Structure formats: C-alpha cells, structure tokens
Chains A and B, each alone.
Chain A
Amino acid sequence: MIIIEPVKGLSALRFHEIWEYRELFYFLVWRDIKIRYKQTFLGAAWALIRPLMGMIVFTLLFNKLVGFSVKGVPYLLYTFCGVVAWNFFSEGVTNASQSLLANANLVSKVYFPRVIIPAAAILSGFVDFSIAFILALLLMVYFQFVPTATIFLFPLFVLLTVIVSLGIGFWFSSISVQYRDIGQALPYIIQVFFWITPVGYAASKIPSAYQLLYWLNPIVAVIEGFRWSLLHTGTLPGILLLLSCSVAILVFITGLMNFLRMERKFADVI
C-alpha cells in the first residue's frame, strides 16, 4: 500500500525504499561507467593519464621549482597519492552536482528516491579511482616503498571522501535544480577548494596560527589521511582531524536533509 500525502517539514529518509530501488542504483552506476569513455580514442586510459599529468605538474611546480620535499617518501609518490584523492573528490563533486540536471528527464517523469542520482554519480567514479589506486600501488613497488599497518585505515579515508563529496554533491545538486548558477560557479568553487587543499604540499606547511582555520576544510583531512595511511607521513594532528571529520559529517547531514526537503519539488521546478 502506498500513501501519497503533502510533505510536511522534513520527510524521514526512507531507507527501506532506497533499498527497494537498489537495482536502479546499480544500473545508473553501470550506465555512467559504461558511457564515460564512449567515443574517446584513449578510452579508460584517461583514468591513468589524468592523475599522472597532475603528478608531473605538481612535481615540477612544488618539488623542482619551490623545492618542497618530504623526508623518507619519494615526492612523486607523495604527490600522486594527493592527486588521486583530489581527483576522486573533485570529479565526484562535479558529477554529483550536475547529476540531477543531467538526468532531468528521469526526475520529471519517473518516481524513485532522488538521492540515488548523486550517489550513483559519485560511485561511478570508483572505477577511475580504483585504476589510479592500483597505479599508486605499482609506484610503491617501483620505489620499493613498504607501507606500514596504517594502510588498513585507508578504507576509512576513502569513506570520508565519499561522505564529503556526497554532502557537497547533495547541496549543489539540489540547489542547481532551481538555480542554474551552480553550473556556472562550479569550476571556480572547485578551483578555490583546490588552492585551500594540500595536494602538492603538506598541511603542516601552513603557519600554525591558521591551522585551525585550514583544517575546517574537510578535504584537508581526506588528502592528509590518504597520504598518512598509505605512506605513513608523520603523525596526523588528532584534534584537527576530528574537526575536519566533524565538518564533513555536518556537511553530509545538512546536505542530505536539504536534499530531502527539496526532493518533492524537483519535478515542479527542474
């Protein structure tokens, strides 16, 4: 039995319903993966080319030009891990933010829990991420770098990336249904994020007076966490990490709540 009623206040997250629509979720992920590199000459090789390009640019810029280096870790490997994390985040956010508009015909014609759409957009980035991650492992072998036990905490930081990307993706995608400004601003927002994120350098380079402010950016925890768990680069500042994670969870929860509040209006305004 289905009851259709006006939405009053916050509608509860209908987990059982999302579970019911899991097959659609798989299909959307599968579709996104399938058509991602259609009609490209290099195909899935792009998943390798992009992080490698980033790695080369950052090595030239920060390592050779600025002279930044990390003790005990080859800089190439160091920055590659940062780039992999950053790409996973920025592509996830970009795809998720545009996902509702890209699937406008679904939103205006068929019913299903809308959270599936941005979630699928982010999950489909996992393929690229996995390919890049395997390359990171190969680089470790090449540099004869032996990871420590912290590598077992790596999945937690991947989860953190997903939470942050989803949170921001929920916010941006739901707003962009009504205000297309998001589409215009997105590249610049991503760019701003990039400059306040330690992709090519270490977060510890930031003056200590600004550390607290700096770690309010949840991507800092993502990047630093990636490198710490894979390459064991010193110790992570526990309190600041906690702060970063709290911001991530806050963004996720508010983003989800806002998304659910707007969800039933999507079809009317898209």
Chain B
Amino acid sequence: MSTIIHVEHLGKQYRIGARRRGNSFRDLFDEKVRSIFSKKDKKVSSFKDTIWALEDVSFDVQEGEVLGIIGRNGAGKSTLLKILARITAPTRGRIRLEGRIASLLEVGTGFSGELTGRENIFLNGAILGMKRMEIKRKFDEIVAFADMEKFIDTPVKHYSSGMYMRLAFAVAAHLEPEILIVDEVLAVGDIEFQRKCLGKLGDVATSGRTVLFVSHNTAAVQTLCKTGLLLAGGKLAHFGSAEECVAKYLQGNNSIDGTILSMGRQASGDVQVTGITINGSESTQVLLEKSEIEIMVQGTVSHDVKLDIEARLYSSQGVLIGSFCPTRNHGNLGTIKPGPFRIKSTMDLQNLNKGRYSLDVYLTHPMVQGYWDFPNAATLYCDGIPLANSSVLETIHYGPILLTGETVYQ
C-alpha cells in the first residue's frame, strides 16, 4: 500500500464582507474611494473580512482506503473537496495526488435539456473526464444501470426529475478514477435507486479504489469507512479510525450545539420553562443506549395549568415517523398548581432501526393550547436492533421502523 493522497498544511482563505456585498463596478469604486479616505481602517477591516475556511490541514490517505470526512456545516468539508477536485486553488499548503480524481458531487453537471439522453451521456462523460472510447464501451452498462433503454433518444428536458437523476448518477457511477469523492448523493432518487447506489458504492469500496466519503450520516460513515477525518472550524480535529471520529464528532456537538432549552420558544406566557433534559442530559445530541428516552421538563406556572409533553419523531430525511402524547388517549391529564413544577415522560422507541432521527418536543395542553415549542429539540442516534444473525438494520436500507411479527408454518 502506498500513499495516494498527501496533504500538507493546507489552508484556504476566503474574503467575506465587502466583496460579497455585490459584484459590480460600483462596489469596487465604493471600496476604493473608502480606502483612500480611511487608510488605517482598511488594514483592520481586511483582517476582519477574511476567514480561513481551512487552516493547516495535513493528512495522508493510503491506496484503497475508504476515508470518511465528517464535520458540521461550515467545518470546511466542501472547501477541502473543492481543493482536492482542483475547482478552487488553496491559499497555502500543498497536495500530492497519485492518480486521477473524480467526484460524485458533479452528478448531472453540464446536462443539456435540449440534448437526448444518449447525447448527454457522452457530453457528461467527457465533462467528468472520460475518454470517448471509454464512454462508448460503457454506454450499454450505463443505460442499463439507469434503466433508461426506452427514453435514451428523448431530449432530457422531457424527463421526470427522477429519470434525470438516475441517468446522471449512472454516468458518474461508471467513472473509474483512482480516487473517488462521494458527497452525500445518497439522498436522491427513490428508495430502490438509493439502494442501487449504495450497492454500487459498496462495490467501489471493495474494489480497491480509494474513496473519500463525505456525509452527515454518521451511521453510513461508520459502516462504509475504516478511517475518518473530523473537521471543525476549518481545522483538523481528529484523524484516525472512523469510530473515533464519529464519537468525537458527537461529543463535540454537545459542547458546541448548546442545550435543548436554547432551541425552545415560548408560545404562551402562562408557563416558564427553566430546564429540559433528555435522558438526563441538556444536550441536543442524544445517543440512544436503551430503547426508550426520558424527557424531563421543569419550570414555573403562574396559575393552574393542564400540561403534558408531546413529541414528534422525524427520520433524517424529515419524514414524520410518529407522534407522542401519552395523555391524549387516556385523558389522564395532570393539573399543575402555581409555583415550580417538574414533569417527566417516558417514550418507547423499541422498534427503531439504526440511524439518525430528529425530535420535536412541545409542552401543551393537548388539543387546546401550546405553551412551549422545542422544534429540533434533539438529534437521536440510534444503534438499531441487534438481530439474531448479529447484523444491524439500517434506516437507509430498511426504513426507520422494524416491522415485527411471525410466520406460522402450517
């Protein structure tokens, strides 16, 4: 195994502020005129107006390695990819690549609506760096992968968006670079196609190709990647095994993201909330260790109020999975007396598959009045249900809920 990507002290500075204000000569004149009158100010502001999107990042990737790159929005992931793909130049540092690099962030780039599917395959292939002969050779395979034989000579502008994405991904998936960059493309297409894409990715990962996989989906990073790279604020926060990086990422989120309370907003003035925890922690990041969570709210009320905790659970794609309101059906709604209070609900999440979920929490008098809203109160990371054959079901393959039951042989 040899080093295929060698990154040394990479840095990228972006100018923000004045330059971003507008892109016309007028702004340029503005800037120039102002700088004449305030020479001193300019020096100060020029420091303020730049940010290091990436700062002193160094790492090596070995041939055949599948590296997961994780980090919050704005951590520098896209900048790193853009520099690696040579779309933008670094401000400092140096990268050595031993091979062709291509990325799946370019899915559908350069597609022209007026051209037919067939013509677009050739055009897009050329844009992604394939030779004409190479495209010719793989043409049938691409068409078959996209499942597009019927419409291949129809102009792409008549395609549905799903067909469009399928064809685009099919071309990109047939690239054969030594290094492949994959940026969360898995969110496109229908479920069947997503599964196909994941399968293809699995093939790529096991074929000895070097893959850089960028994702928010920590579960996918853990399953697909051996090594990981964690970026935070443009700096390399951790470089090591994928598990370590994911753990550090989730840990780091606790300190940065703040508390669930800070996500809340008051809907009506009758109730003051002073604290809210999930599983005893104020953090918005929740690692599910058992199949239930406990939501605890404390605060004060000024007069008698009927209160309950409601919650809604969403998949990472934002699909509502279920809603929770223990007293809605049973009518056993408690009344809070004026003064401090503390209520606690336990929510059962037994059949949740492995994945990332988001939870909204509400403090309400169900069906009557809302008192506090905590939209996106928490992100839940579920490890899934260990099965008899010890594999773990994942949302991306099987949906969020494990449907159980039994087969009787008669």
Q: Which of B24, B25, B94, B132 contacts A4 (CB 8 A)?
A: B94
CB pair B87–A1 under 8 Å, yes or no, is no
Contacts of A30 in B (CB 8 A): 123
Contacts of A180 in B (CB 8 A): 23-24
Contacts of A35 in B (CB 8 A): 112, 114-115
CB pair B123–A4 under 8 Å, yes or no, is no
CB pair A23–B131 under 8 Å, yes or no, is yes
On whether A1 and B97 interact (CB within 8 A), knowing A23-B131, A179-B24, A267-B87, the answer reads: yes
Contacts of A265 in B (CB 8 A): 88-89
CA distance A246 to B12 in the complex (A): 40
On whether A38 and B91 interact (CB within 8 A), knowing A105-B109, A106-B109, A109-B105, the answer reads: no
Contacts of B85 in A (CB 8 A): 110-111
> How many cross-chain pairs have Cβ atoms below 8 Å apart between A and B?
97
Q: Mark B120-150, 1 if CB is under 8 A from A, else 0.
A: 0011001111011000000000000000000
Contacts of B90 in A (CB 8 A): 4-6
CA distance A181 to B23 in the complex (A): 8
Which residues of chain A in 94-139 are interfacial with respect to chain B, using CB atoms and an 8 Å cutoff?
103, 105-106, 108-112
CA distance A106 to B84 in the complex (A): 16
Contacts of B88 in A (CB 8 A): 264-265, 267-268
Asked if A3 CB lies within 8 Å of chain B CBs, one says: yes
Contacts of A264 in B (CB 8 A): 88-89
CB pair A27–B96 under 8 Å, yes or no, is no
Q: Measured between C-beta atoms, what is the minimum distance from B181 to chain A in Å?
A: 11
On whether A23 and B86 interact (CB within 8 A), knowing A1-B96, A34-B115, A35-B114, the answer reads: no
Q: Measured between C-beta atoms, what is the minimum distance from B40 to chain A in Å?
A: 27
Asked if A208 CB lies within 8 Å of chain B CBs, one says: no
CB pair A111–B87 under 8 Å, yes or no, is yes
CA distance A268 to B89 in the complex (A): 9
Closest to A36 in B: B114
Contacts of B122 in A (CB 8 A): 27
Which residues of chain A in 77-98 are interfacial with respect to chain B, using CB atoms and an 8 Å cutoff?
none
Q: Mark B259-271, 1 if CB is under 8 A from A, else 0.
A: 0000000000000
Contacts of A106 in B (CB 8 A): 109-110, 127
CA distance A108 to B95 in the complex (A): 20
Asked if A18 CB lies within 8 Å of chain B CBs, one says: no
* B contact set with A: CB distance below 8 Å: 14, 23-25, 28, 82-99, 101, 105-106, 109-110, 112, 114-115, 119, 122-123, 126-129, 131-132
Asked if A42 CB lies within 8 Å of chain B CBs, one says: no
Contacts of B127 in A (CB 8 A): 24, 27, 106, 110, 112
CB pair A4–B114 under 8 Å, yes or no, is no
Contacts of B24 in A (CB 8 A): 179-181
Q: Mark A236-270, 1 if CB is under 8 A from B, else 0.
A: 00000000000000000000000000001101110
Closest to A180 in B: B23
CB pair A27–B123 under 8 Å, yes or no, is yes
CA distance A27 to B28 in the complex (A): 37
Which residues of chain A in 12-38 are interfacial with respect to chain B, using CB atoms and an 8 Å cutoff?
23-24, 26-27, 30-31, 34-35, 38
On whether A34 and B114 interact (CB within 8 A), knowing A3-B94, A5-B94, A6-B92, the answer reads: yes
CB pair A3–B91 under 8 Å, yes or no, is no
CA distance A267 to B112 in the complex (A): 20
Contacts of A39 in B (CB 8 A): 114
CA distance A267 to B105 in the complex (A): 14
CB pair A23–B96 under 8 Å, yes or no, is no
Asked if A2 CB lies within 8 Å of chain B CBs, one says: yes
Contacts of B114 in A (CB 8 A): 34-35, 38-39
Contacts of B96 in A (CB 8 A): 1-4
Contacts of A269 in B (CB 8 A): 23
Task: List the 4 closest pairs (A to B, CB-CB), nearest first.
Answer: A111-B86, A264-B89, A4-B95, A27-B126
Asked if A7 CB lies within 8 Å of chain B CBs, one says: yes
CA distance A124 to B201 in the complex (A): 38
On whether A4 and B23 interact (CB within 8 A), knowing A31-B123, A105-B109, the answer reads: no
Q: Measured between C-beta atoms, what is the minimum distance from B21 to chain A in Å?
A: 13
Closest to B125 in A: A27
On whether A110 and B84 interact (CB within 8 A), knowing A34-B115, A268-B14, the answer reads: no
Contacts of A233 in B (CB 8 A): none
On whether A23 and B89 interact (CB within 8 A), knowing A178-B23, A179-B25, A180-B24, the answer reads: no
On whether A23 and B126 interact (CB within 8 A), knowing A4-B83, A264-B89, A267-B87, the answer reads: yes
Closest to B79 in A: A268
On whether A179 and B83 interact (CB within 8 A), knowing A4-B95, A6-B92, the answer reads: no
CB pair B95–A109 under 8 Å, yes or no, is no
Q: Which of B89, B95, B131 contacts A7 (CB 8 A)?
A: B89
Q: Measured between C-beta atoms, what is the minimum distance from B53 to chain A in Å?
A: 10
Q: Could you jot down 10 A-B contacts, CB within 8 Å? A: A1-B97, A2-B95, A2-B96, A2-B99, A4-B94, A5-B95, A106-B109, A111-B87, A179-B23, A268-B88
Closest to B26 in A: A181
On whether A110 and B23 interact (CB within 8 A), knowing A4-B95, A6-B90, A35-B115, the answer reads: no
Closest to B127 in A: A110
CB pair A1–B112 under 8 Å, yes or no, is no
CB pair B25–A181 under 8 Å, yes or no, is yes
Contacts of A6 in B (CB 8 A): 89-93
Q: Measured between C-beta atoms, what is the minimum distance from A37 to chain B in Å?
A: 10
